[in-house]
Amino acid sequence: MHTVITEEDGGGSIVRVIHESEILKGNPLGDAHVRELFVYLPPGYGESNEHYPSVYCLTGFTGRGKMLLNDSAFTPNLHQRLDSLIAAGTIRPMIAVMPNCFTYYGGSQYINSTATGNYEDYLTKEIVTFVDENFRTRADNNTRAVMGISSGGYGSLIMALRHADLFGLACSHAGDAYFEHCYPSDFAKAFRAIKGDPSAFMKKFWAAEKKGKDDFAALNTIGMSACYSPDGTSFDLPFDLETGEMRPDVWARWLEHDPVRLVEKHVENLQSLKLLYLDAGTRDEFALDLGAKILSKRLNSHGIDHIHEEFDDGHFSIGYRYNRSLELIAQRLST
pLDDT above 70 covers a percentage of the chain that reads 97
Give residue-wise pLDDT tens across range 21-35.
999 999 999 999 999
* Cα 64 to Cα 273: distance, rounded to the nearest angstrom: 26
pLDDT band at 335 (very low <50, low <70, confident <90, very high): low
Helix/strand/coil (H, E, C) string of 144-192?
Answer: EEEEEECHHHHHHHHHHHHCCCCCCEEEEECCCCCHHHHCHHHHHHHHH
pTM: 0.97
- Tell me yes or no: is domain 2-177+260-333 CATH 3.40.50.2300: no
pLDDT the model gives residue 3: 72
Helix/strand/coil (H, E, C) string of 88-153?
Answer: CCCCCCCEEEECCCCCCCCCCCCCEECCCEEHHHHHHHHHHHHHHHHCCECCCHHHEEEEEECHHH
State the average pLDDT over residues 247-263: 98
State the average pLDDT over residues 151-174: 98
Average pLDDT, the chain: 96
pLDDT band at 153 (very low <50, low <70, confident <90, very high): very high
Task: Specify which residues 39 forms β-bridges with.
Answer: 15, 97
Give residue-wise pLDDT tens across range 104-136.
999 999 999 999 999 999 999 999 999 999 999
State the average pLDDT over residues 299-312: 98
The domain spans of the chain are 2-177+260-333, 181-255
149 contacts: CB under 8 Å, gap ≥ 6: 59, 60, 173, 174, 175, 318, 319, 321, 322
* Cα 220 to Cα 304: distance, rounded to the nearest angstrom: 31
288 near 249, Cβ under 8 Å?
no
- Among 252, 221, 248, which Cα is nearest to 237's? 221
Give residue-wise pLDDT tens across range 89-98.
999 999 999 9
State the average pLDDT over residues 309-326: 98
- Among 59, 136, 53, which Cα is nearest to 99's? 59
State the average pLDDT over residues 62-81: 96
pLDDT the model gives residue 6: 62
Half-sphere exposure of 316 (CA within 13 A, CB side): 1
* Cα 288 to Cα 171: distance, rounded to the nearest angstrom: 14
pLDDT at 250 over 90: yes
Chain-centroid distance of CA 136 in Å reads 24
pLDDT the model gives residue 2: 73
Give residue-wise pLDDT tens across range 195-242.
999 999 999 999 999 999 999 999 999 999 999 999 999 999 999 999
